[in-house]
Amino acid sequence: MDKNTVELLARRAGLDKALAQFSDDVAAAAKQASDAVAKIKVPVDPRAEPWPPMRVGTGL
């Protein structure tokens, strides 16, 4: 993720204050996120469902 994209996403998330005071931390957070996403093998079957599934609630 390039610097401009990081800044754009940070501002969209409302992290202007963090960006001003802790820009290194914002950059590190963005890198952690993109590194994790890159390691996941997305299921190829379009019917693959996420876990946990929707369940009807009882007693809540």
Partner 1 sequence: MNDLHWMTVEEATQAIAARKLSPVELMKALLERIGRLDPKLNTFIRLDGDAAMDAAMAAEAEIASGHQRGALHGVPVGIKDIIDVGGLPTTCHSKLLVDNVASADAVCVSRLRGAGAIVLGKLSTHEFAIGGPSFDLPWPPARNPWNTDHHPGGSSSGSGSGLAAGLFPMALGSDTGGSVRNPASACGIVGLKPTYGLVSRRGVFPLSFTLDHVGPMTRTVADNALMLEIIAGHDPLDPGSVAASAGHYETKLERGVRGLRIGYIRHFHEEDMPADAEVTAALEHVASTLQKLGAGIRDVRLPILGEFAAVNRVILQSEAWAIHGQWLRERPEDYGQLARRRLMSGAFLSAGDYVQAGRRRLEMISAVEAALREVDILLCASAMDPPSRIDDPAAVERTYPRQARTPFNVTGHPALAMMSGLSSSGLPLSVQFVGHNFAEATLFQVAREWERAAGTDNSHPRLV
* Interaction site with partner 1 (CB under 8 A): 1, 6, 9-10, 13-18, 21-22, 25-26, 28-30, 32-43, 48-52, 57-60
Q: Say which DSSP state 15 is in.
A: -
Q: How far is the CB of 27 from partner 1 (least distance, A)?
A: 9
CA angle 22, 24, 25 (to 5 degrees): 65
Q: How far is the CB of 5 from partner 1 (least distance, A)?
A: 9
Question: Length of the chain, please?
Answer: 60
Closer to partner 1 at the Cβ: 4 or 39?
39
